[in-house]
Structure 1
Amino acid sequence: MKRQLIAAVGVAAMVVGLAACSSDGKKSEDKSGSTSASAADKYKGKTLKVWTMTGSAPKGWTDAVKTEFETTYPGSKVEFTAQEWGGIGAKVTTALSEGSVDVLEVGNTQTAGYAASGGLLDITKDKAAFGGDAWPANQNESAVLDGKQYAAPWYVTNRVVAYNKDLWAKAGLTGAPKTLEDFYGDLEKLKTTEGVADPIYMPGQEWYVYFGLLSSEGGKIAKKDGDKWVGGLGSPESQKAFETYKKLQSYSVTGPKDKDEATPQQKDVFGKGNVGAMIGLGWELPDEKAALAKDKIGFFPLPGKTADKPSGVFLGGSNLAIASQSKNTDMAKDFLKVALNDKNEGLFAAAGITTNKPALDAAITGDFALAAKAAAAAGSITPNTPNWASVEDNPNPVKEFLTAVLQGGDFASTAAKYDDIIAKKLNQKQ
């Protein structure tokens, strides 16, 4: 998987003007109007166009799904096209309006935008047939808008603590900390250990970490108040989350308070071998050219206040949706049944990726993957609104809020300032 997997945000604001179509409900035919004599050959001569993003599906998934579908429905064809995340918003918008794609992968923070525009088919009545009864609520939230199901959750990933095993041992530390207090104690020991330049590398604008801590406290960056959105940075929950965030960030000697995890790339900082820990995604880990070898890196979920539950995390990932303008909606629905069945969804678990069915995740192995799976249970997504992308666009008010308060700004007045900015962005007319 690649970094762009989770960076698929910011396109929802581009999704406008798509007209939704609905099926006419006649017999079991699709929008092409053809009726088949049997279930096996009802898609004979038809081609289903499916878009997935480069680096998303695990090895073998595409071939397995294509083979199963084309075998189940002789004479049918599934045409997969791998898309790049760069510039995908405009490309998807055009394809949805033209009806040139049938099934597509969309980032979970994109889904509300495409759904609100009318670009995605309402699949509420089909949820159970796709295995939806097993989907975790925190994953499925991103696929629902105004009470209607517009996509199926496909997979998620999230951040965990990566630590330098050699420095950990040098500091006399053994095993993963069970609580945040334990973790603070570990960082204190690392701070006085020879050869440790930074107990943890954590720049001040690592807002995804703050997001998780906020969700742990039961708070949200923004929420609906009647028919309007209001910011949540000034809430009591946010203040508690910020105190935890501030304490963690205080152990980052070299982490700038006005930069995020990509400036510089934290994998390069951690990869030097003199940093005790970092909090990041799988593709943010040092590569093979780094001084810190991969087998010298251990993982654990960021602990919570008590040992029974880790801190919350932001769940990044993707959903699978059907284009509302597709002329093959019945075929697309049958495709999703195949794509999301236990065998094919299980290929994600085998590759160490958290799936949309907890029962399948028992097959997950690997230290990073196991830590991510444990943390995912306490995960959540960003506010589910078509306008969320405008918040993440630079200048990101959450990042600016964190920097301002870390640099000594008054919490209440600073939070009020940026809550107002968030509310204005989220309440924009589409």
Structure 2
Amino acid sequence: MHNKHRIATLLALTAALAGCGGGTDKNNTPAPAPAPVPSAPIGVNFVLPSNNVLEAGASDGLVVNVSVNGSPAPNGTNVTLEVNPAAAATVAPVAPSTVGGVASATLSVGSSVAASATFQVKASAVSQSNTAMDMVTYYVRPTPKALQVLVPAYFSSTGTSSPWNTLTAGATSYPDVQITAIANPHNGVITASTKVDADALKAITAFKAVTGTTNKVVGYVATASGSSGELSVTDVKATIDNYLTLYPGVLDGFFLDGMSTDSNRLVYFQDIYSYVQGKGSYKVIGNPGTYPAAAYASANSGTGVADVLVTYAGNAAAYQAIDPQPAHTWVYAKDNAAQAMLLHTASTCTDMQTALAKANSPRMNTGMVYATNLTIGTPWSALPTYWPQLLGTVDAINKKRTLPSC
């Protein structure tokens, strides 16, 4: 009887252990309940990112609002996130759940994704009555370069009160800020009989000689005349040649004013650009004053028209409404230094800083800037009253420091 009692006890103990999952299973946590699937109509919309222009390797937050029957979705409602093409970026988590009607994730652009790439992120959610989705487009741009200043130096170079002296003094105070001055000693047309402007040559030489700087000077070249319309390619090439003869060794390139925005004069400007490239390492800055056709943005040998395009020239207030999306997203295939803006009527220092912050935003992708409080008529006849603050603002933006006080 004793053995029969021991066997019965062991069998009872074995059965008890089996019912508890066995003596060696220490993970007895039940599986999580599946996410709730709402029965009422569901809605999904991205909280549009403040910045949908990123660089390779960059990360950004994704935020999606989810509603059920017009109210915030219950906590735990799942959202599915997809990237197309999938190789462009990743999201984590790929199926975030809502808290207070909001689902969040992190978007990471692939480190080898090429500039000018475009991809979409789709968010979707399901209820028993419908499937809802929303999509946002992202653009990839080259890693931005430091902000530079482009100065229309169309002012007198004569005497100690010349703005060229103030320009040079500013360059001395802010040697880390690269300044490109557009010299205009002959109103953009130089003929064989034109004489050198000795004061302009002296001013240009002094500006470029500031220790520790990489200042540049480009010569102003007119491509159109108010009285005769388009200038001939022959005349424009003669102006370029005469610049190089009268101002040898001091010019870094040419500023082509009056550039078109459509394809009608594309071959004209391609011819001029190719001609300049044949002269040596000279930069060409073109001024259409607004976004031109995408063909103008190509700087490949034989097809380009400029290395830099002024994509906005005008009133500072109107600049706040300018947006390259969706019509001119070709700007994201180019360095920020390949786009410039020239603003007038930025009445205060604060207006100037607002404009420069916009230009420096990834969405604008503009790396050469200028703003003045002078107004339409003669906006480039002197430097702005806040010239030192303009240079200080660019310097602070580049160094990620607090902007100077206005």
Tell me the TM-score range normalised by the shorter chain. Answer: under 0.3
TM-score by length of 2: 0.25
| Higher relative contact order structure (alpha carbons within 8 Å, sequence separation ≥ 6) | 1
TM-score by length of 1: 0.24
Bigger CA radius of gyration: 2
